[in-house]
Amino acid sequence: MNITLLTTDELAERIKYSPSYIRRHLIDNKLIEGIHFKRPFSGRKILFIWERIESEILGTESLVIPMASGGAYHG
């Protein structure tokens, strides 16, 4: 699986929002650390995972709950 990591400025270009809006509103309210973005080496820099953000924008993100039997519930 290829993962595309983007800086805040690169993400802003792709989704047509300002970098400051992404930092102030999306990171605090819509994007989840560990799912939509990472802070490598426990630093201040944020790298966004484009494939997960894209699926969130397009509405293809689905909830997957692991089951005790080893399967998964797709809700």
* Structural domain range at position 11: 5-74
DSSP conformation letters of the chain: ----EE-HHHHHHHHT--HHHIIIIIHHHT--BTTTEE-GGG-S--EEEHHHHHHHHHT----EEE-TTS-EEE-
Rg (alpha carbons) of the chain, rounded to whole number: 14
| pLDDT per residue as tens digits for the range 29-73 | 889 898 899 999 988 899 999 999 998 888 865 666 777 887 776
pLDDT of 12: 97
pLDDT of 68: 80
Total domains present in the chain: 1
- Contact in structure between 67 and 75 (CB atoms under 8 Å): no
Encoding tokens for residue 16?
């047509």
